[in-house]
Amino acid sequence: METIQSDVVIIGAGGAGLRAAIALAETDPGLRIALLSKVYPMRSHTCAAEGGAAGVIKGDDSMDLHFGDTVGGGDWLCDQDAVEYFIDQAPKELTQLEHWGCPWSREKDGSVGVRPFGGMKIKRTWFAADKTGFHLLHTLFQTSLKYESIRRFDEVFTTDLIVADGRVQGCCAIEMRSGEMIQFQAPAVIICSGGAGRIFPFTTNGAIKTGDGMALAYRAGVPLKDMEFVQYHPTGLPSTGILLTEGCRGEGGVLRNKDGYRYLQDYGMGPETPLGEPVLKTMELGPRDRLSQAFWQEQKKGNTIPTKWGDCVYLDLRHLGEAKINERLPFVRDLAKSYSGVDMVTDMVPIRPVVHYMMGGIHTDINAATPLPGLFAAGECACVSINGANRLGSNSLTELLVFGRRAGESALAYVRGDSKPTVDTAEAGRQAAAAQARIQALFDRADGGETISGIRDEMQHTMEEGAGIYREEEPLKETTAKVASLRARQTGIALKDKSKVFNTELTAALELGSMLDVAEAVALSALNRKESRGSHQRLDYVDRDDKTYLKHSMAHYQGEEAPRIDYLDVVITKSQPGVRDYSGAKS
């Protein structure tokens, strides 16, 4: 088996992983960096983010306002020390990206422009038309090509972390081109592998977002934090789940029900604002959780429009006019035209809420460090936690920059620090051999009549049934039991493809295993949280309960058994829990 020795291994080469790699390469050019990804870096799902990245830059904005929007948007489940650090670093990171060539949209005088987003008191979203994540990813990837010390391993699928002596010491991964296992020995590992939206049937997430990195850390004993908080984006195309950016509403788009009525005014986000004059933190510029929940209520009232892909409401942008749509929203105009056959210049676009983002993830502290020495995490796979119970739109791109860099710096301090962590190469070799044997066992498994696509479909269906926009005890219990049984049943999958070269049946089986572990943590965390907060809404516990649940859920892996859930206090520095007010009347 091939062995690669380096100082830091990064798993995942999207926005966070690339930012971590660049931070390492810039700070210490002598460092040996291994950057692993199961795809090529530019395929990472960061590329699909559309709307923008938040950072305080304009004179009418302030750090306090960004803090207030983020913590209130997160329904006070954010760790406020992490939020303060994040907000302080955000403008610097976005400016750094500007220096690296990101084609930010500009004001007439050449300064960077900002647009409004949901849940914001002041407009502060930097944007590159409506392909911000794409430009951010390609800018980082192309910039990373400058650094010879970043050694890339593209299309290399990580299967296991190597953990010995209570520390992480590397990972094992399959080179997809050859099918051979490689052991990566390193005293520090940073996981930047993205979210797990694919545990749901209807999602904006690409096929690759299967929670692999979350599962790696979880199985190695690191808790998954706040997994019950799953963000539905209010405006997805009904046939495919393709995202229409929140920028649509930031630029003045409105939501209408089957009668053409702007229903958000009935759900505490009114009064109705004049067409073409969006008011911040009001109506369509309310937060994502509230908007998605309002859709569900409208559906119950029979005010949605039935389509062959399910019930919808309308996103109406017609009053913006063709010129503005082409300047600010050209990509989503094309997406709606191509995939739904609707031109938003002349027609209303049918949309419905769609699973978009996991607020929860690998538990880290403010330094992006997990409780397992040597293991760090950043980006959507991690929970640091600045997003609380509901992420503010346009904080996630900034998050992967701020905490990607932070993870790089922390890993560097760790490997260069006084403890001088080393790798027990004999033990690493033993664990790598065991990992390889487990892969071989997958190939040798007897056919128990199960299929990857069959179990995946059942998982996605039960997650939507029990752990969707609104939840309650009985369906959640059923979902939890169902996912547990699917975890057991996956051993009945036999791989029909026995070849080594680019075997995507093998990787799909491994991804399914990761998704099932993550899904179980989501469902059980949701079942145990008997309150409603942010994106976690219980029909049987409709109020927020700060006395009992102003705490992070921590899901601990227990092998074949269900995870153990316990709780960790939220860090509060300056904002006590209050009322989330999105009614324009008081602003």
Partner 1 sequence: MSERQITFEVLRYNPETDDKPWVQTYSVPCQEDWVVLDAINYIKDHLDTSLSYRWSCHMAVCGSCGMMVNGEPTLSCKAFLRDYKGSKIRVEPLSHFPIERDLVVVLDDFMGKLQSVKPYIIPKKEKPVEEGEYKQTPRQLKNFKQYTMCINCMLCYAACPQYGLNDDFIGPAALALTHRYNLDSRDGGRSQRQEVVAQHEGVWECSFVGACSEVCPKDVDPAGAIQQMKIASTVDWYLEHLMPWRAK
Which member of 338, 419, 485, 548 binds partner 1 (CB under 8 A)?
A: 338
Closer Cβ to partner 1, 67 or 104, answer by number: 104
Site for partner 1 in 117-136 (CB under 8 A): 131, 134-135
Asked if 510 and 500 touch (Cβ cutoff 8 Å), the reply is: no
Tell me how far apart the alpha carbons of residues 61 and 405 are, in angstroms, rounded to a whole number: 24
Q: Please name the helix (run of DSSP H) or strand (run of DSSP E) that holds residue 173, with its range, or none.
A: strand 167-175
Question: Under DSSP, is residue 530 helix (H, G, I), strand (E, B) or coil?
Answer: coil
Tokens of 289: 């959780």
422, 499, 548, 573: which one binds partner 1 (CB under 8 A): 499
Based on the number of CB atoms within 10 Å of its own CB, is 59 exposed (0-12), middle (13-18) or buried (19 or more)? exposed
Whether residue 562 contacts residue 524, with contact meaning beta carbons closer than 8 Å, is answered with yes
Q: Can residue 580 be called a binding residue for partner 1 (CB under 8 A)? A: no
Interaction of residue 442 with partner 1, rule CB under 8 A: no
Interface with partner 1, residue 265, by CB under 8 A = no
45 is in an annotated binding site: yes
**DSSP element (H, E) containing 182:** strand 180-185
Structure tokens, 313: 């409401």
Retrieve residue 318's tokens: 């017609």
Binding pattern for the stretch 219-258 against partner 1, x by CB under 8 A and - elsewhere: --------------------xx-xx---------------
User: Residue 73's closest CA among 385, 315, 329?
Assistant: 385
| Position 42 contacts partner 1 (CB under 8 A) | yes
Catalytic residue among 288, 333, 406, 533: 288
- Residue 64 CB, nearest distance to partner 1 (Å)? 21
Judged by CB under 8 A, does residue 308 bind partner 1?
yes
Q: Would the annotation count 28 as a binding residue?
A: no
Q: Is 42 annotated in some ligand binding site? A: yes
Q: Which of 48, 122, 305, 433 binds partner 1 (CB under 8 A)?
A: 48
Say whether residue 420 binds partner 1 (CB under 8 A): no
Shorter beta-carbon distance to partner 1: residue 74 or 195:
195
Residues near partner 1 (CB under 8 A), total: 61
Tell me if 195 sits within 8 A of 221, measured CB to CB.
no
Min dist CB 511 to partner 1, Å, is: 12
C-beta of 76 vs 134, nearer to partner 1:
134
Is residue 288 annotated as a catalytic residue, yes or no? yes
Rounded to a whole number, what is the largest CA-CA distance in the chain? 69
Per-position x/- string for 138-157, each x denoting binding to partner 1 as judged by CB under 8 A, each - no binding: x---xx-xx-------x---
Q: Is 324 in the site for partner 1 (CB under 8 A)?
A: no
Instruction: Give least dist CB 505 to partner 1, A.
Output: 5
Smallest distance, partner 1 to C-beta of residue 499, A: 5
44 has binding-site annotation: yes
* Chosen residue from 27, 256, 337, 339 binding partner 1 by CB under 8 A: 339
Residue 106 interacts with partner 1 (CB under 8 A)? yes
Contact segment (CB under 8 A) with partner 1 among 76-84, 316-324, 404-412, 494-502 equals 494-502
Q: Which residue in the set 261, 296, 502, 567 belongs to the binding site for partner 1 (CB under 8 A)?
A: 502
Instruction: Please state the closest distance from residue 45 (CB atom) to partner 1, in A.
Output: 7
| Residue 207 interacts with partner 1 (CB under 8 A): yes or no | yes
Please check whether residue 197 is in contact with residue 356, taking contact to mean a CB–CB distance below 8 angstroms.
yes
Is 50 labeled as ligand-binding?
Answer: yes
Determine if residue 49 is labeled as part of a ligand binding site. yes
Q: Is 243 annotated as a binding residue?
A: no
* Contact stretch for partner 1 (CB under 8 A) within 107-115, 280-288, 399-407, 416-424: 107-115
**Does 319 participate in binding partner 1 (rule CB under 8 A)?**
no
Q: What is the DSSP string of 112-171?
A: BPEE--TT-SS--EE-STT-HHHHHHHHHHHHHTT-TTEEEETTEEEEEEEEETTEEEEE
Nearer to partner 1, 408 or 466 (CB): 408
Question: Other CB atoms closer than 10 Å to residue 88's CB: what's the count?
Answer: 14
d(CA 425, CA 423): 5
CA distance 173 to 155: 10
Does 206 belong to an annotated binding site? Answer: no
Residue 391, marked binder: yes
The binding track of 10-39 with respect to partner 1, each residue x by CB under 8 A or -, is -----------------------------x
Query: How is 25-43 classified by DSSP, letter by letter?
Result: HHH-TT--EEEE-SS-GGG
Sheet of 8-11, strands arranged across: 150-153, 33-36, 8-11, 188-191, 375-377
Q: Is 586 an interacting residue with respect to partner 1 (CB under 8 A)?
A: no
Among 68, 206, 373, 492, binds partner 1 (CB under 8 A): 206
Q: Is 437 buried (19+), middle (13-18) or exposed (0-12) by CB count in 10 A? A: exposed
181 is in an annotated binding site: no
- 375's enclosing H/E stretch is strand 375-377
Does 245 show up as a binding residue in the annotation?
A: yes
CB of 152 to partner 1, least distance (A): 8
Q: Beta-strand (E) ranges in 219-338?
A: 224-225, 230-236, 254-256, 305-307, 310-316
Q: With binding defined as CB under 8 A, does residue 98 bind partner 1? A: yes
Q: 468-494 in b/e burial notation, b at 16+ Cβ within 10 A?
A: bbbbeeebbeebbebbbebbebbeebb
Do the bridges between strand 33-36 and strand 150-153 make them parallel or antiparallel, or are there none, so unpaired? parallel
Q: Under the criterion CB under 8 A, does residue 357 sit at the interface with partner 1?
A: no
Q: Is 99 in the site for partner 1 (CB under 8 A)?
A: yes
Cβ neighbours for 238, distance < 8 A, ≥ 6 positions apart: 307, 309, 310, 312, 340, 350, 351, 352
- Looking at the DSSP assignment, which residues form a beta bridge with residue 311? 306
- Whether the upstream peptide bond of residue 116 has omega within 30° of 0, thus cis, is no
**Quick one: 327 or 540, whose CB is closer to partner 1?**
327
* Positions that interact with partner 1 (CB under 8 A): 39-40, 42-45, 47-48, 92, 95-96, 98-101, 103-112, 131, 134-135, 138, 142-143, 145-146, 154, 177, 206-208, 239-240, 242-243, 308, 331, 335, 338-339, 451-453, 495-497, 499-505, 508
Residues annotated as catalytic (active site), given as ranges? 288
* Binding-site residue positions for substrate: 233, 245, 356, 391
